[in-house]
Amino acid sequence: MLPGSHAKLSWRNGLAYSEHFQDVYYNSDNGLLESDYVFLQANRLAERWLDYSEQSFTIAETGFGTGLNFLLAVKLWLALAPSSASLHFISAEKYPLNLHDMTTAWQQWPELQELSDVLTSHYPQALQEMTLNLFQDRVRLSLLIGDATNVYRNFRQKSANTKVDAWFLDGFSPAKNPAMWQAALLQEMALLSKPPTSFATFTSASAVRRELMAVGFNVNKQVGFAKKREMLYGHFTGTAHAQ
């Protein structure tokens, strides 16, 4: 049996909406700016990639969705990192978009068309785990298909040496999508981290904050994007933090 099934979407003013979770894939004010603010800036990727001297950098995400976070990270990586280094982007997705929906979603962002054409021309129909080498091998995309906790557990057991440098926590809101914020997933996240692995997320839910602290992340709050009051970001220290 295949581990996932395709997402059921509808379109609201051209923006992808999940019928399954009754939630939007990204902010209706400006999803692109929100992704940049929440995931790229709060993980300090530009600072970390300028004068980057390591061979590779690993980002892991919960919830691939349309791949907007992925392509924004790729764009920044291609602009800043030396061509000898590679970005490994790992993302877990239980309900992958089908190719038609993926292509429709990307019509929203003509400014990223050069990159999204590469993604959509390689994006597979099959609902199975896959690794794609893209952008002259400067980027490796591993799509782990299935429930995030299970696929990250399997991934960790198979890839004992892989440690993540930055996490993008991007499930739907915790109230609508609790599986993407459960303690077991955050524990997997900790096992795949090493100080100073960073994380960022749009939510400021206190249960998420508490669980992240319990598994060894230092958690900060800052002003959220647009109408969102607060969001969380921080880094892994490896020791549980007082609540």
Ligand X SMILES: C[S@@+](CC[C@H](N)C(=O)[O-])C[C@H]1O[C@@H](n2cnc3c(N)ncnc32)[C@H](O)[C@@H]1O
Shortest Å distance, C-beta 94 to ligand X: 4
Parallel/antiparallel/unpaired status of strands 139-145 and 15-18: unpaired
Tell me the backbone φ, ψ of residue 17, rounded to 5 degrees: -130, 130
- How many angstroms separate the most distant Cα atoms in the chain? 47
Query: Residue 24 has which token pair?
Result: 């939007």
Query: Residue 1 has which token pair?
Result: 């049996």
CB of 49 or CB of 152, closer to ligand X? 152
Shortest Å distance, C-beta 93 to ligand X: 5
CB of 12 or CB of 194, closer to ligand X? 12
Contact criterion met (CB below 8 Å) for 138 and 77: yes
Shortest Å distance, C-beta 121 to ligand X: 18
Residue 20 CB coordination number (10 Å): 14
Closest CA to 94 of 185, 158, 223: 185
Residues 146, 150, 153, CA angle at the centre, nearest 5°? 130
Query: Residue 187 has which token pair?
Result: 């524990």
Residues that bind ligand X (CB under 6 A): 7, 25-26, 63-69, 92-95, 147-148, 170-172, 177, 179-180
Shortest Å distance, C-beta 5 to ligand X: 10
CB of 51 or CB of 128, closer to ligand X? 128
Query: Residue 34 has which token pair?
Result: 């929100």
Shortest Å distance, C-beta 207 to ligand X: 16
CB of 68 or CB of 192, closer to ligand X? 68
183-191 helix and 148-158 helix, angle to the nearest 10 degrees: 20
CB of 148 or CB of 212, closer to ligand X? 148
Shortest Å distance, C-beta 68 to ligand X: 3
CB of 86 or CB of 116, closer to ligand X? 116
